[in-house]
């Protein structure tokens, strides 16, 4: 019989990872697909931004069409301030029931 003894050897240590010329630090995103909910959220946000800018542009056009500067300022105050920032509590006008009825009566008239 031959003299075959088991000689224990140490396990090989893994080599540290090194990049070569064919590797990249950045992963490839060419096959990345976003979930549909993310696409919808992006589309919804872009549409909101577009509608808001379109609205403000149209209000500016209406302001410039006014014959008096004060009328243009009134249009801006009524429409744009609420869109740009929500009104503060002290800016909100509270009407009494009598005032509400008077406004409804005026609006209901046919001229």
Question: Where in the sequence is the domain holding 44, given as residue range(s)?
Answer: 36-108
Whether residue 79 lies inside any domain: the answer is yes
CA distances to 37, 49, 67 from 79, in Å: 32, 17, 18
> Model-level pTM?
0.45
Whether residue 42 lies inside any domain: the answer is yes
Q: How confident is the model at residue 98 (pLDDT cuts 50, 70, 90)?
A: very high
Whether residue 10 lies inside any domain: the answer is no
Total tally of structural domains belonging to the chain: 1
- Give pLDDT tens digits for 51-65: 988 988 888 888 888
Residue bearing the bigger pLDDT, 73 or 50:
50
Whether residue 22 lies inside any domain: the answer is no
CA proximity to 91, closest of 77, 104, 75:
77
CA distances to 29, 53, 54, 57 from 43, in Å: 21, 15, 16, 21
Whether residue 30 lies inside any domain: the answer is no
- Give pLDDT tens digits for 12-47: 777 777 767 666 666 677 777 888 999 999 999 999
Whether residue 1 lies inside any domain: the answer is no
Task: Tell whether the model's pLDDT for residue 7 goes beyond 90.
Answer: no
């Amino acid at each position: 019989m031959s003299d075959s003894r088991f000689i224990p050897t140490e396990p090989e240590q893994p080599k540290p990872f090194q990049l070569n010329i064919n590797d990249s630090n950045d992963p490839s995103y060419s096959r990345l697909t976003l979930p549909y909910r993310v696409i919808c959220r992006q589309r919804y946000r872009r549409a909101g931004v577009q509608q808001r800018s379109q609205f403000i542009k149209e209000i500016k056009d209406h302001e410039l069409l006014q014959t008096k500067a004060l009328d243009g300022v009134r249009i801006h105050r009524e429409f744009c301030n609420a869109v740009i920032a929500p009104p503060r509590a002290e800016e909100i006008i509270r009407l009494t029931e009598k005032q509400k009825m008077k406004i409804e009566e005026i609006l209901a008239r046919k001229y």
